[in-house]
Amino acid sequence: MIERTYASALRVGLVLVVALAAAVVTNFVLLGVATGPNDPVGRLSPRAGIVEVPATTPTPRAAPTAPAAGTTTAEPSEEPGSEPSSDD
């Protein structure tokens, strides 16, 4: 039984070593492909200059005011442009 446990541990260790080696080799291959001579990223240059936009200032607006407590708003007695009414 001890031999079986030792063989299983050896097998797991071997699989881990092979997986680690495969990961390292894959990373080197991918890095070699990414830095190939036909990679255009390093040769790109901007075509337009940076344009500075002037800062905008917010337009000041009057705060809405509420009538004081206990007061009422006056109703206009007549509409503008109408004739005054007579109660004869």
pLDDT digits (tens, 9 = 90+) for 17-74: 999 999 999 998 888 776 666 555 656 666 667 778 888 887 888 877 777 776 666 5
pLDDT of residue 31: 84
Q: Does the model's pTM come out above 0.75?
A: no
CB contact set of 73 (below 8 Å; sequence gap of 6+): 67
pLDDT of residue 16: 97
What band does 14 get if pLDDT is binned at 50, 70 and 90?
very high
